[in-house]
Amino acid sequence: MPIGLALIHWDDSIGAILDEIYPDDDEIKKVFNTEKVLFIFTSQTMGDITTERFSALFTDEFHIACYYGGRENNLLLMLILEENETPRFFKPILKEQFYKIIQNLDKAHEIIPQLFNEIVEKASKISEINNCPVSPIIAYKISKVVKFLEKNPSTIFTPQYDYIHGVHYPKLEQIAGNSIKAEDLLKELEKQNIVGKYMVDNLVVCPSCGSSHLKTSKICPICNSSTIIEGNIIEHFKCGHIDFENEFIKNDMICMKCNLKLETEGVDYQRLGHYHYCLKCKKYFKELNEFYQCLDCKANIVKNSLSIKPIYKYYSLLRPINQISRREEFK
């Protein structure tokens, strides 16, 4: 079940401000301090405050789903989730609740508990849907696989990887078709004790939807901007100016700040090594933070919050059909 709901707004002179948070809980408030609220706002808008959007963020401390309203209102509605919850299921209701707040902005404090309860109600419906028994199509596919395994008991379902599917099981797809994800079918086969498994590999995946289609970028450790360039840098001793080596070369080794020529390395200048430069906050960094975006569900993910998905081989637990019939003959 969702844990809480909060409203953040952006003030050009102060930054991100937590307007409302429900429930009024000290533990939650401790997690969402000023620094975290700033990180959430900047990472979810990613420097583009013009576009209204849904997004999600995973860190080792919290999982959240957000709805941002764009430049017009500069408001972000944030739903705090439990670890096992899937943010994208909350996209429609979060957008709906966002507009209810916009229309009653002066009463935000009073209506947030009600809006949160409506989301919780919706979440319980989502979990009911997810726990429903197998669909007729899965039941049909299971019967096909069972027939095949009874005739071919030594079958092993071996994983393969490609760009489109991430991980898939060609042998199983050959038997049962590919209208259902092989992994979903295998999960069901395992639940019904038709196949057993052992781990052979792992895959780094999105903690929200399990996809391995991840976009990786390096971001500034201070302002979270992804406008970063890199190169070797040089420091001019005389004036203290630091810049990329290729900028000095372009300028015939004449310092852009003091106009003196750089003559001898180690005497009037030194190479400081490879650095990154943030175009937004104009600072050099040796190390950057890594940031991921899921190309499937658009969740934003901080490095340590990526999930590791175990990859298995599967084998048949069914007795071959000839053994069963032989035993029956002995009766």
Binding mask 299-328 for Zn ion (x = CB under 5 A): x-----------------------------
CB of 149 to Zn ion, least distance (A): 32
Which span sits near Zn ion by CB under 5 A: 76-84, 137-145, 268-276, 296-304? 296-304
In this structure, the number of other CB atoms found within 10 A of the CB of residue 137 comes to 11
228 lies in the site for Zn ion, by CB under 5 A: no
Q: Please select the residue that binds Zn ion; options are 31, 49, 223, 242, rule is CB under 5 A.
A: 223
CB of 214 to Zn ion, least distance (A): 8
CB of 9 to Zn ion, least distance (A): 22
Which span sits near Zn ion by CB under 5 A: 45-53, 72-80, 272-280, 285-293? 272-280
Tokens read off for 130? 């997810």
Nearer to Zn ion by C-beta: 73 or 225?
225
Span between the terminal Cα atoms of the chain, in Å? 54
Cβ atoms 64, 56 nearer than 8 A: yes
258 lies in the site for Zn ion, by CB under 5 A: yes
Binding mask 81-120 for Zn ion (x = CB under 5 A): ----------------------------------------
Q: Please select the residue that binds Zn ion; options are 100, 187, 280, 313, rule is CB under 5 A.
A: 280
Q: Please select the residue that binds Zn ion; options are 185, 278, 301, 318, rule is CB under 5 A.
A: 278
220 lies in the site for Zn ion, by CB under 5 A: yes
CB of 56 to Zn ion, least distance (A): 8
Size of the site for Zn ion (CB under 5 A): 21
CB of 301 to Zn ion, least distance (A): 8
β-bridge mates for residue 314, sequence order: 157, 197
Which span sits near Zn ion by CB under 5 A: 89-97, 129-137, 230-238, 243-251? 230-238
Contacting residues toward Zn ion, per CB under 5 A: 206, 208-209, 211, 220, 222-223, 225, 236, 239, 241, 255, 257-258, 278, 280-281, 294, 296-297, 299
